[in-house]
Amino acid sequence: MSPRAPVKPLSAVPRAVFALLAAALAAQLLWQASAPTPRARARELPPAPSLAALRLAALGEPVALSKAAMLYVQGFDEQAGVSIAWRELDYGKVALWLRRVLELDPRGQYPLLAASEVYGAVSDPARARLMLEFVHERFLEDPDRRWPWLAHAALVARHRLHDLPLARRYARDIRLRATGPRVPAWARELEVFMLEDMNELDAARALIGGLLRDGLITDPHELKFLSERLDRLNQSSESWQQDGGPKP
């Protein structure tokens, strides 16, 4: 067995080598200290796939995929290391994702809830209107089941956007299109309140009279409520005429 080579003591290493190593370490530390702090960057919401592609990916379970897609969209504002405000999202892409979710599960209601109560609550009026119009378009596909979300959209248009004509348009479509037996009377009466807020008292009176005359309201409490409201509107109209307003 050959003898082991003697190990040189550290004192035998030239000082220049130590100086070079120290300089390299110092340079590395300085470089790391001066480098900017890494920042997480938000990813943009990608465009929604086509319905055909989603149905193919669903493997016969479209409802399950719709729920997964909804979770994906709703969780997109919270990414690793960064939080995205709703007003910074591309609402055109959001609306298309929500539409795809509904197409996968037409009986689902959650995309409409998210559109009217979550994304529609954004402080940007343009984005809020886009979400309300999305709700309106999807309502037209199934009025008797989707009327609650258009009713909420009407209230958002009235109280948050202060757009009474838009609120009345939504309320009118509920009255004209949501005619199923499970649609409550108050939903059909929503247009009356919008007309009163617009000071369209004659139109409100005519609408209440039509609801009473056509037999669309059958609940005794609703009938009493509308009759009393019609009486108040008639009294308001008479007082206005006595004060110099134009006669009908």
Q: With bands split at pLDDT 50, 70 and 90, how would you rate the model's confidence at 45? A: confident
- Specify the range with the lowest mean pLDDT, choosing from 29-43, 71-85, 88-102, 132-146: 29-43
Q: What average pLDDT does the segment 173-179 reach?
A: 94
What DSSP assignment string belongs to 187-236? HHHHHHHHHHHTT-HHHHHHHHHHHHHTT----HHHHHHHHHHHHHHHHH
Please say if the pLDDT value at position 240 is more than 50: no
Please say if the pLDDT value at position 4 is more than 70: no
Q: How far apart are CA 3 and CA 128, in angstroms?
A: 85
Strand, helix or coil for residue 182: coil
Q: How far apart are CA 130 and CA 156, in angstroms?
A: 12
Q: Which residue has the higher pLDDT, 19 or 164?
A: 164
pLDDT at 230: 74
Please say if the pLDDT value at position 124 is more than 80: yes
Specify the pTM. Answer: 0.69
Q: With bands split at pLDDT 50, 70 and 90, how would you rate the model's confidence at 77? A: low
Please say if the pLDDT value at position 9 is more than 70: no
Q: Report which residue type is found at 5.
A: A
Q: What is the pLDDT of residues 220-230, one digit of tens each?
A: 766 676 777 77
Q: With bands split at pLDDT 50, 70 and 90, how would you rate the model's confidence at 12? A: low
pLDDT at 26: 58
What DSSP assignment string belongs to 88-110? GS-HHHHHHHHHHHHHH-TT--H
pLDDT > 70 in the chain, percent: 67
Q: How far apart are CA 127 and CA 85, in angstroms?
A: 12
Please say if the pLDDT value at position 234 is more than 80: no
Q: Which residue has the higher pLDDT, 228 or 85?
A: 228
pLDDT at 3: 57
Q: What is the mean pLDDT of the chain?
A: 78
pLDDT at 122: 83
- Specify the range with the lowest mean pLDDT, choosing from 74-83, 129-138, 184-193, 224-233: 74-83
